[in-house]
Amino acid sequence: MHKKRILCLIAAIAAVLIVIFITFQMGYWPYTVPSRLKKVLAMTLTGGAIAFSSVVFQTLTNNRILTPSILGLDALYLFLQTAIIYVFGSTHLMIVNKNINFFLCVGLMILFSVLLYTVMFKRKNKHIFLLLLVGIVFGTLFKSLSSFMEMLIDPNEYQVVQDKSFASFNHMNTDILLIASVLFAA
């Protein structure tokens, strides 16, 4: 019962902070409120997805220290962004159109994950620690390949790679929030 009270208190504090964030220094409220609501939705969705994936991953590995980033999927994302810019340039439709870029990267990451897990779990010895080791190796490989391509590309295109490397709630693609929410709920 004590833990439920703490969770309720944390939820109440979060709700108050969300209201303060949405209403603080509003200015022109018909523009400000929808914009800030989208940011709150994106932050909530991102935080929920990170928390859910971390808990599931830590449960599967029976280790509270490991996070899903050890599988190297974040390095795969950066590698895909860098490779697309390296091959096609920063003005190609796959980079300029955020929706195409999102679905292409998500599709390629899912394809890579399915191929990797199919190969890894097809064997008789289905050790999750071998998968973690392979994830570390692939993560290192993808980071190295990304760094190599970043050194070869034009400095202006490198800036585009850097923009893709860091999450920003000020410059987010709000067109995919509904799709991401449905996928997260599923």
Q: Tally Cβ neighbours within 10 Å of residue 142.
A: 22
What is the per-residue pLDDT across 123-154, written as a single tens digit (0 to 9) for each? 777 778 888 888 999 999 999 999 999 999 98
In a domain, 77, yes or no: yes
DSSP-assigned letter for residue 67: -
In a domain, 14, yes or no: no
pLDDT at 176 over 90: no
pLDDT at 5 over 90: yes
Residue count (the chain): 186
In a domain, 116, yes or no: yes
27 torsion bin: left (phi>0), alpha (psi -120 to 50), beta (else)? left
Task: Find, among 101, 110, 103, 107, the residue nearest to 81 by Cα.
Answer: 101
Give the N- to C-terminal CA distance of the chain in Å, as an integer.
29
pLDDT at 67 over 80: yes
In a domain, 102, yes or no: yes
In a domain, 9, yes or no: no
The predicted structure's pLDDT at residue 55? 92
The predicted structure's pLDDT at residue 144? 96
In a domain, 88, yes or no: yes
Structure tokens at 32: 């400000």
pLDDT interval class at 107 (50, 70, 90): very high
Per residue, what are the HEC states of 9-63?
A: HHHHHHHHHHHHHHHCCCCCHHHHHHHHHHHHHHHHHHHHHHHHHHHHHHHHHCC
pLDDT interval class at 108 (50, 70, 90): very high
In a domain, 59, yes or no: no
Q: What is the domain range of residue 143?
A: 67-185
In a domain, 163, yes or no: yes
What is the per-residue pLDDT across 9-57, written as a single tens digit (0 to 9) for each? 999 999 999 999 988 888 888 888 888 888 899 889 989 999 999 999 8
Name the one residue in this structure whose structure tokens are 């969705």.
45
The predicted structure's pLDDT at residue 99? 83
The predicted structure's pLDDT at residue 95? 79
Name the one residue in this structure whose structure tokens are 């692939």.
138
Please tell me the total count of domains within the chain.
1
Q: Identify the H or E element spanning 123.
A: none
SS3 category, 125? coil
The predicted structure's pLDDT at residue 93? 81
> How large is the average pLDDT for residues 84-105?
85
